[in-house]
Structure 1
């Protein structure tokens, strides 16, 4: 049930399909004034999500990843069934070349938008920080509730990318003296990973930049108590020095 790729004349047309993986799986088609949800069975969701996260792949690789506990022959049969069951959603998948499947180029993916934004921030341009902040603060977790090994791996990869982007964004905003959004970005990173020291240092950096020494010390002490309670360790010497210098 493969569908050929869109001809070159369509390359500049707006995406006909939207795929959301952050916060949950949703496939929709652009029709008229809005997006219309497209029903996708569970096996089809997994196939589409895997192609979105890993890119084009051979049928053998896809079958082995999605059904690792059965024989190769059985796994390939399951893949054929999953493609057949896509029915109306089958246009999301194309045969990139013989034996290789990929998502159709018309599909716009939220994870692609997120990774583009995150890498844009990490590349250190100064423009677009407001839109980047809104994008990073508003995103959900990758496919919550999915427990497959390949999803867990990709979820952690995107999780780490988001944390690094938030910390870099906070530092950029501090340099621009935009302290409120800088603090929001830093606090969001501590919410995502409460034990991440670099995230808490980002929060303290904002407070120090605003000369809010009491808040900086208060946040440091709260993080220190958390580390002692959860892990029985102390913050790094770098963090101690950061706060000590602010008080001298």
Structure 2
């Protein structure tokens, strides 16, 4: 992975850049939308800085090149920085002693996490936009299997699930049952064995008095658990359905 020391830039400020990590790596210029070609090492460096924020050269070199000696890892890092700034000046900021993304780089991860935390903060505003954002996002850097990517992918996966379930509950409270069901079903799609996601689906059905749909969904989930894990749904879930039928 390659990134280079950020040379001083004269004249006009560099154009704004968009860094997309959800659904795959993509770096483009806002003006004109042209894609910026980045080496594999440069992609990894930008992704690491984007996901974890500013870091020292030692940390970055050790994370990106864990299987080589430190001197060689630092040399790889210097090359990566140089190649990156050849492709797009000031995409990496090295002026503070640590490396960071340039201030003109905007990330899709920023937009996603802001939306997710907005939903989890129990704000009733912007639920429609939140639903669209959370439903449409892709997986973080599919096809990347480095340990730090796997960790960040799981972190964002869990954040998305919690946000979808919270959004579904918020929409039920607002009696917006169609988008509430859509959000709940999306959470079951991305994690089919997650009980809280299936409870969210049943909650929507019960709120609409669709008892048959609620029971049918519960039975499908119970069969899935038995088949895949050899276990039963929780007593909480079973009690929830029995109480609705009482």
Q: TM-score range by the shorter chain?
A: over 0.9
Q: What SS does structure 1 have at the residue aligned with 2:34?
A: strand
- Structure 2, unmatched stretches of 5+, are none
* Distance (Å, rounded) in 1 between the aligned partners of 2:87 and 2:138: 27
Are the equivalent residues in 2 in contact too, given 1:46–1:66 (CA < 8 A)? yes
Q: Match for residue 114 of structure 1?
A: 112
- Distance in 2 between the 1:184 and 1:195 partners? 17
Equivalences for 1:17-166 in 2 at 5 Å? Answer: 17-31=17-31, 34-86=32-84, 87-98=86-97, 100-166=98-164
| Aligned mates of 2:122, 2:7 — CA distance in 1 | 40
Contact 1:83 1:90 in 2 (8 A): no
Q: Offset of 1:96 from its aligned partner?
A: 4.2
What is the TM-score when the length of structure 1 is the normalising length? 0.94
Structure 1's unaligned 5+ residue stretches are none
Length-normalised TM-score, structure 2? 0.94
What CA distance in whole angstroms lies between the structure 2 residues aligned with 1:212 and 1:79?
A: 58
Structure number with the higher strand fraction is 1
Tell me how far apart the structure 2 counterparts of residues 88 and 183 of structure 1 sit (CA, whole Å).
45
Could you say which residue in structure 2 is the equivalent of 1:199? 197
Quote the offset at 1:3 in angstroms.
Answer: 4.1
- Secondary structure of 2:30's counterpart equals strand
Residue 182 (structure 2) pairs with residue 184 (structure 1): yes
RMSD: 1.8
Given that 1:4 and 1:95 are in contact with CA atoms closer than 8 Å, whether structure 2 keeps it comes out as no
Q: Which residue of 1 aligns with 2:224?
A: 226
The answer as to whether partners of 1:24 and 1:142 remain within 8 angstroms in 2 is: yes
Partners of 1:5 and 1:167 lie apart in 2 by: 46
**What residue number does 2:6 align with?**
2
CA distance in 2, matches of 1:74, 1:217: 60
Partner residue, 2:173: 175
1:160-184 CA distances to partner (integer Å, 9 max, x unpaired)? 0000000000000000000000000
Shift of 1:91: 2.1
Whole-Å Cα distance in 2 between the matches of residues 187 and 101 of structure 1?
40
Shift of 1:89: 2.5
2:200 and 2:38 map into 1 onto residues whose CA distance is: 41
TM-superposition CA deviations, 1:79-120 (whole Å, max 9, x none): 01111222122421011412x100011111000100000000
CA contact (8 A) 2:9 2:89 kept: no
Report the 3-state secondary structure (helix = DSSP H, G, I; strand = E; otherwise coil) of the residue aligned with 1:180.
Answer: helix
* DSSP-derived class of the 1:143 partner: coil
